Structure 1
Amino acid sequence: MSTTPDREELEELARRAAGGDAVALEDLLVAVQPGVRRLVGRMLVHPQDAEEATQDALLAVARHITGFEGRSRFSTWLHTVAGNSARSTYRTLKRRSAEHAVDQLPERPDPRTTSVIAGSRLDLLEALETLGRTRPELVEPVVLRDVHELDYAEIARVLDLPLGTVKSRIHHARTALRPLLAAAEPT
């Protein structure tokens, strides 16, 4: 494609790719890559980590595009895939960091695993991971709303939930996250 597709062209590319059109899939992946990179960059500070999550998200799109049914906009589905990829990359980094910490103590803090440099984004990822262990149904709605800035109606469509349920889950997630984030604030 010679130009960046607009929203409707992107939706059409997604429909064609979901139908098995390999050229449409290739064009779709090229078109969405910069946006996916920006989305995961909101959650992962270190550029190499964001790039890894971007590639994982694009691979997930390529593998699962046939499962895109068009019940919501493609961009909404893509937000979900990108958010899941960023959280997965964060969990992998955290696990690697814990494995290496046993072997040696770093001389300098790693910006990918400390909130000193990364700020509230890593604190949020940590809090979301904690919340996901006890109330996993609350994580995706609050990420779609507060990180990806989707409106409530769109979240309801993506998750195939009633609007009231989405609002309730976001409220409960924020209530549960508040003390976790407050505990992470520097004193």
Structure 2
Amino acid sequence: MARDDDQEELARRAAGGDRVALDTLLGRIQPSVLRRCARFLPCYQDAEEACQDVLLQVARNISRFRGQSKFSTWLHVIIANSSRQTYRSLKRRAVEQAHGVPPIDVPDARTTSVIAGSRLDLLDALDRLENRNADLVGPIVLRDICQLDYREIAQHLGIPEGTVKSRIHQGRARVREYLGAG
């Protein structure tokens, strides 16, 4: 627990403008950020790209961290959003390559790993859900991928815990439908 308290203190100091605290914080969270990005993205290089984006966003936006929720919760949201954005960017690049840009010889993760394919299918399902009901995506990502508890999610989103549970239930049902529809 001392390490979590230390991280919270570093975040508080960094938010107050302490550059040394920010540098220390970034160094400490980098391995964890990379692991969490890899939960979303099946290719290690893509996870590294998302990780670098997360660290950059933390550095740029730490002054906005007010301590209303735990730093780890704030960080989880940045990780989830950055990983999903990296995935969308990769999808766009793949579409562009399919339309005349010379392809880069990268194997399709869906054919090289069942786990990787499942992650990509989940990201596709979350994108579909976001286009139809964006309120359901955040709670699912925070619970099922970032593994936050209901109380932390409710606090971060500023909604009652019962609403969080309801949105997770509804969102999971929709995601299951999308995954089944292929």
Fold similarity call, TM over 0.5: yes
CA drift of 1:43 comes to 0.7
Amino acid paired to 2:144: D
State how far apart, in whole Å, the 1-side matches of 2:7 and 2:55 are: 15
Identity of aligned residues (%): 54
Q: State how 1:138-157 maps to structure 2 within 5 Å.
A: 138-157=136-155
1:126 counterpart residue number: 124
1:71 counterpart residue number: 68
1:165 counterpart residue number: 163
1:62 counterpart residue number: 59
Q: List gaps (5 residues or longer) in structure 1.
A: none
Q: State how 1:1-187 maps to structure 2 within 5 Å.
A: 6-103=3-100, 110-112=107-109, 114=110, 117=113, 118-184=116-182
Q: Deviations over 1:26-64 (max 9, x none)?
A: 100000000000000001011110000000000010111
| Runs of 4+ off more than 4 Å | 104-109
Point out the more displaced range, 89-98 or 63-72.
63-72
Q: Given the two structures, how large is their TM-score scaled by the length of structure 2?
A: 0.92
Q: Deviations over 1:108-132 (max 9, x none)?
A: 77335x4653221111000001111
State how far apart, in whole Å, the 2-side matches of 1:173 and 1:24 are: 38
Question: As a proportion of its length, which structure holds more helix?
Answer: 2
CA drift of 1:174 comes to 0.5
Amino acid paired to 1:155: I
State how far apart, in whole Å, the 2-side matches of 1:139 and 1:61 are: 22
CA drift of 1:107 comes to 9.7
Q: Deviations over 1:139-158 (max 9, x none)?
A: 11100001111110111111
Point out the more displaced range, 168-177 or 6-15.
168-177
Contact 1:115–1:123 at 8 Å: present in 2 too?
A: no
Amino acid paired to 1:32: I
How many residue pairs get aligned? The number is 179
Contact 1:46–1:111 at 8 Å: present in 2 too?
A: no
Amino acid paired to 1:183: A
Amino acid paired to 1:166: V
Report the CA distance shift for 1:24/1:173 in structure 2 as closer, same or farther (over 3 A). same
State how far apart, in whole Å, the 2-side matches of 1:153 and 1:107 are: 44
Q: List gaps (5 residues or longer) in structure 2.
A: none
State how far apart, in whole Å, the 2-side matches of 1:109 and 1:34 are: 25
State how far apart, in whole Å, the 2-side matches of 1:109 and 1:63 are: 32
